Structure 1
Amino acid sequence: MKKSTWQLYNFEPLVLKNVDNPTILAFSCYFHDSSACIVKDGKILAAVDEERFTRKKHDASFPINSINYCLQTAKVKTVDFVVFYENPDLKWQRIQETIKKNPPSEEARNRIVKLWTELKFKHKISETFHQKTGLNNAILFLDHHLCHAASSYYVSGFDEAAVVTIDGVGEKITTSYGQGHGSTLKLEKCINFPDSIGLLYTAITVFLGFKANDHEYKVMGMAPYGVMDRNLNPFYLKLRKTIHLNEDGSFSLEMKYFGHESFDSKAYTEDLIDLLGLQPNVKEGPITSEYENLAAALQLVTEDAVFNLLNHVQKATNQENLCLAGGVALNSVLNGKILSRTNFKRVFIQPSAGDSGTVIGAAKYIQHLLDRNAPTEHMVHSSYGPEYSSQEIRQFLDEHNIIYKEYESYDEVIKEVAMLISKKNVIGWFQGRMEWGPRSLGNRSILASPIYDDMRDILNAKVKHREMFRPFAPVVCLEDASTFFECDMPIPEPTDYMLMVYPIKNDMKKKMPAVTHVDGSGRLQTIRENQNLLYYRLIKEFGTLTGVPILVNTSFNIRGEPIVCSPMHAYKCMMGTEIDYLVMGRFLVKRIDNIKDIWQPCVID
């Protein structure tokens, strides 16, 4: 048994004068997934990732487009407070400690110093903000994991809850827990770098030939192709040697297997190669059964660590409600087991649980710090991004000489699109405000029928241009979910954001083969009538036609690109893939009617 790695969480609380009903702008940048959010009149009015505007996936640049969008949506030119999602001083301390422990090459050291000197120190962030926005607010810098925690708790709708954050690393912290009571949120314990579940997952992701801080979800999707039995998987016991789990829920990594304590190393070491008895895969290399088994072992070990942690937190806090955040909270396979593997009764995860979502936490934390009487907010949708009016869509179509059909009512749109999907057409669905977070949830989605055996391969090969092992998500109206899935009851809210995987009932698998993963599971999205009426009605109409009230829903993008934001992005995506129809508002565009604009994408992942 290793020594406990829990430490007391020490964050010097900000002392701010009370401000009733403040307007707060929060932003993140310079690591990955830059973003911005604005809170006004006690509510989140806008939240968006910078990548959606620049079309650069995981764009880490200063989020000027996102900030401008937030200000415009809130109809303000000034704000009361501006908040940054982490504390650069503490992150720089950790970097200095790493450099001292494992001195990097002169080239690496110079690169790090240059990056920080030009961009990342507090004064440079403030200087850039003031220059680019014209706002003169002093910037408040919060703790990264506190922002994660607040991003879940303050929009959960819970009056009290245990709060847990798990990611790669913030400034120094990799894992934390605490409690929320009313408008007060306090973190109590934390685990520091280099011990990190997120960095363990990233190391194996890189070992398997995928990209760090990007392709972890692919590894999760690949895992069910391997042996998901701890007694039979050939890599499970080997991988368990890389992490020590303690009875108090804490953990530590066996660092000889990992390289994240050195700036000149890979994410893993030669010792890990020797331990596994397996050579790392090359980028885009073939996926063998050995790599599938390693992905499965990683999922199993991750679940061991997280459930050990969560069960300790539940006992320590005696809470029935759980709020979860951080990159590891995007592991929907794990999430689907939380209520069955722990004593928590309810769980909430907001749709952008990774780093981009910290801006919501930053803004909401400061809101409740300033205004103790601020009402709690319950996030019941993810539609915080830009939207386009019928006039704007029509203008785009006309200016580009695009052939289209306009319907007089949405009733007609629903009937036509449901019929097209039932006849095996693939639809680009562009409606309302763009979603917040990494998932398309019915406003910027590619939709298809789940009833055809070959639909998954069609979508992977001809539309998404991605690995053939990748599964697709089923979307189902909330009241129909228990008919098709073996899910927790009542169905947890994170299913609204495609954040939980559940088994598909055996007698239903043959009815929806396109969304049934190799292990018989589905990463379902539930939709409620009051969330997105148009989307809800489309699913119901498809069910009337086919007897299966479920659609395939996948993100509206080409592999390697962000989800579409504007009509131009949507049209370009359709014309560079084999999407058959694009539906924007009440406008229907048929791909083969516009062959002049067909193009072949150069897919870069």
Structure 2
Amino acid sequence: MNILGLSYMYHDSAACLLQDGAVVAAAAEERFIRIKHSIDFPLRALKYCLAEGGLSVGDLDGIVFYEKPFLKFERILKTHLMAFPRSYASFRAFLPMWLNYKLSVPQTIREETGYPGPVYFTDHHYAHAASAFLPSPFERAIILTMDGTGEWSTTSHGVGEGTDIRLDQHQTFPHSLGLLYSAVTAHLGFKVNGGEGKVMGLASYGKPSFRRKFDQAVRIREDGSFQLNLDYFSFHYDLVMTNRKFAEHFCPPRAPESDILPEHQDLAASLQSVVEDAILAMVRSLVARHGIDRLCIAGGVGLNCVANGLILEDTPVRELFVQPAAGDDGASLGAALYLDTLLGGGRDAVEAGGRASRSPSGGALAGRDRWRMRDAYLGPSFSDAEIEAFLRRSKWSYRELTEDDLPARAAELLSRGRIVGWFQGRMEFGPRALGNRSILADPRDPKMKDILNRRVKHREPFRPFAPAVCVEDAPEYFATSHESPFMLLSVPVREDKRGLIPSVVHVDGSARLQTVSARSNPLFHRLIKEFGRRTGVPVVLNTSFNVRGEPIVCTPQDAVSSFLRTEMDDLLLHRFHLAKEDNR
């Protein structure tokens, strides 16, 4: 059975292809069209997925959309009418897009692709829940989804067992941890749906001095449920997310690109503290209620690696799986997996009109193993022949290596302090570069963080960088017993090791860790091992292969373009080594 999941129209448009219950391809549209967080119909991503599966649109048994637009439109209408006339400007901006485009999903799909078959719809938070639980290693687990908003839900939780997903508690718009984080992100002068990670990084530089003031803006109950005081916010009726009362209560809004002041750092720290308190209380309550110590998380708030690390440190949760594409891109994967469990039981398992029912049991996965997400390498790859043809055609100077020599060459370059673009295998799905579309550097150099932020990434100086370490070596350097294959846990760096890897230690002594196994990425694993053999430090600095404002590179052409426009020293494009001094 061939199922295509799609997400688009809000942010992080993506496509995902399932064949007989297994994900064979998934990618975000931004990587192909080079527009970060693209909302466009994911035509390029869709075409890639079909090509990877050797299919045409006529071979698909179903296309599934990641949410229910009419329910979302109902919410927008109701909330704007309740706030009218204050909501006039926002309503006028939203309405044409909804009437002309967002309510015509089946028609758009058929016009863009020529697909003749049925189009299905899942609930937004069920798509997130499916992306979190169904690919996880657990047979039974608590499920927690948190984002800005779906149709109505902003936080949902329940239990997954086998192929059954039951979400029985929901918080609804406008009370949302995701929108709270986005509102403060905008107030601090960063872009919504992209700048939240910057705020998380900035938080470590501040003190939670506004924490008591947040108690007046956000009420957190003992079970982790929460309620926003809407007197401080305007996102539910306006194009601006915070209002004058918020600015008077906390601090004035920061203009984009202006200096970051201590009060901005403190506001970020206070926000992070509030969100952590809500999440930790929620998780403790869920564990006590269900008696389960395994947890699956998705939704954009799931990208908060600091909160994720605290879940394992400060709650009874013993094992945690966070969907690496936790945002709306990953909802395309979840929608496809969710529909697969339904269609396996026949079309009668789906409600009339193509709406996915709420609790699949058995379905397509009965009698066969569930697909497990052991890595996130689901995007395009390129052959050596394709890459060499491009290099020759473009007349770039390069040296060809053997695959056996490649890790040693990379480790040798890194040990000399050179900054290396690393382009190998299939592109990652999700916002993190995990060793296939990465920029690598030596974490021992205390100046490397500033060099990378200023000369290569062209981004804010407070932004931290992540360490990549072989899974078997991680406990020696990091105070955790948990694997972190998707770079979604922030953990303490052992005090006696912080001086050895200063460029990947955040100001609070933590690091956003990636653990690398020989099974998931043997080439990257060998590189890290070789770097450790040469230097005595088996850790490399790993950051995404892109510059500020651009998506992670997808193609060899993207990689060379980024390499030439920055102060990277070397590019290892599969087996082909481009040195900057030879290509000026």
Unpaired stretches in structure 1, ≥5 consecutive residues: 1-21, 228-232, 596-605
Cα displacement (A) at 1:246: 1.5
Question: 2:319 is matched with which residue: 346, 355, 364?
Answer: 346
Question: Contact between 1:564 and 1:570, CA under 8 Å: does it hold in 2?
Answer: yes
CA distance, structure 1, for counterparts of residue 455 and residue 433 of structure 2: 19
Question: Contact between 1:24 and 1:81, CA under 8 Å: does it hold in 2?
Answer: yes
Question: 2:8 is matched with which residue: 29, 35, 39?
Answer: 29
Aligned to 2:96: 114
TM-score (norm 2): 0.94
Cα displacement (A) at 1:40: 0.3
Question: Contact between 2:87 and 2:237, CA under 8 Å: does it hold in 1?
Answer: no
Letter in 1 for 2:381: E
Question: Contact between 2:66 and 2:123, CA under 8 Å: does it hold in 1?
Answer: yes
Verify: 1:93 aligned to 2:66, yes or no: no
Question: Contact between 2:81 and 2:87, CA under 8 Å: does it hold in 1?
Answer: no
Aligned to 2:259: 286
Letter in 1 for 2:516: I
Aligned to 1:375: 369
CA distance, structure 2, for counterparts of residue 467 and residue 110 of structure 1: 35
Cα displacement (A) at 1:107: 5.4
Aligned to 2:200: 220
Aligned to 1:269: 243
Cα displacement (A) at 1:248: 3.1
How many residues matched? 560
Question: Contact between 1:249 and 1:313, CA under 8 Å: does it hold in 2?
Answer: no
Cα displacement (A) at 1:108: 4.2
CA distance, structure 1, for counterparts of residue 269 and residue 92 of structure 2: 39
Question: 1:591 is matched with which residue: 557, 561, 580?
Answer: 580
TM-score (norm 1): 0.91
Name the SS for the 1:180 alignment partner. strand
Identical columns (%): 43
Aligned to 1:230: none
CA distance, structure 2, for counterparts of residue 309 and residue 416 of structure 1: 48
CA distance, structure 2, for counterparts of residue 415 and residue 180 of structure 1: 44
Question: 1:565 is matched with which residue: 547, 551, 554?
Answer: 554
Question: 2:148 is matched with which residue: 149, 160, 168?
Answer: 168
Aligned to 2:185: 205
CA distance, structure 1, for counterparts of residue 87 and residue 235 of structure 2: 15
Aligned to 1:132: 112
**C-alpha distance after superposition, 1:498-552 (max 9, x if no partner):** 0000110111001001101111111010000011111000000000010000000
Name the SS for the 2:100 alignment partner. helix
Question: 1:453 is matched with which residue: 446, 451, 472?
Answer: 446
Letter in 1 for 2:61: D
Question: Contact between 1:157 and 1:377, CA under 8 Å: does it hold in 2?
Answer: no
Question: Contact between 2:440 and 2:541, CA under 8 Å: does it hold in 1?
Answer: yes
Cα displacement (A) at 1:378: 1.4
CA distance, structure 1, for counterparts of residue 163 and residue 272 of structure 2: 35
Question: Contact between 2:470 and 2:525, CA under 8 Å: does it hold in 1?
Answer: yes
Letter in 1 for 2:45: S
Aligned to 2:520: 531
Question: Contact between 1:168 and 1:199, CA under 8 Å: does it hold in 2?
Answer: yes
Question: 1:473 is matched with which residue: 458, 466, 490?
Answer: 466
Cα displacement (A) at 1:413: 1.6
Letter in 1 for 2:27: V
Aligned to 1:299: 272
CA distance, structure 2, for counterparts of residue 248 and residue 452 of structure 1: 45
Name the SS for the 1:496 alignment partner. coil
CA distance, structure 2, for counterparts of residue 295 and residue 391 of structure 1: 48
CA distance, structure 1, for counterparts of residue 122 and residue 29 of structure 2: 20
Question: 2:382 is matched with which residue: 388, 391, 395?
Answer: 388
Aligned to 1:513: 502
Verify: 1:333 aligned to 2:322, yes or no: no
Aligned to 1:39: 18
Letter in 2 for 1:509: R
**C-alpha distance after superposition, 1:336-373 (max 9, x if no partner):** 11122211211101210111100111011111122221
Verify: 1:186 aligned to 2:160, yes or no: no
Question: Contact between 1:403 and 1:593, CA under 8 Å: does it hold in 2?
Answer: yes
**C-alpha distance after superposition, 1:216-249 (max 9, x if no partner):** 000000111112xxxxx32111112211112233
| Greater mean alpha carbon deviation, residues 410-419 or residues 101-110 | 101-110
Aligned to 1:548: 537
Question: Contact between 1:157 and 1:376, CA under 8 Å: does it hold in 2?
Answer: no
Unpaired stretches in structure 2, ≥5 consecutive residues: 345-362
Verify: 1:322 aligned to 2:315, yes or no: no
Question: Contact between 1:332 and 1:501, CA under 8 Å: does it hold in 2?
Answer: yes
Question: 1:427 is matched with which residue: 420, 430, 436?
Answer: 420
Name the SS for the 1:418 alignment partner. helix
**C-alpha distance after superposition, 1:439-489 (max 9, x if no partner):** 0000000000001110001100000000011110000000100000011x2
Question: 2:403 is matched with which residue: 401, 410, 413?
Answer: 410
Cα displacement (A) at 1:41: 2.4
Cα displacement (A) at 1:376: 1.1
CA distance, structure 2, for counterparts of residue 321 and residue 105 of structure 1: 42
Question: Contact between 1:175 and 1:192, CA under 8 Å: does it hold in 2?
Answer: yes
Residues 171 and 515 (structure 1), Cα distance of their counterparts in 2 relative to 1, 3 Å cut:
same
CA distance, structure 2, for counterparts of residue 153 and residue 404 of structure 1: 44
CA distance, structure 1, for counterparts of residue 407 and residue 230 of structure 2: 55
CA distance, structure 2, for counterparts of residue 504 and residue 133 of structure 1: 49
Question: Contact between 1:236 and 1:301, CA under 8 Å: does it hold in 2?
Answer: yes
Verify: 1:257 aligned to 2:232, yes or no: yes
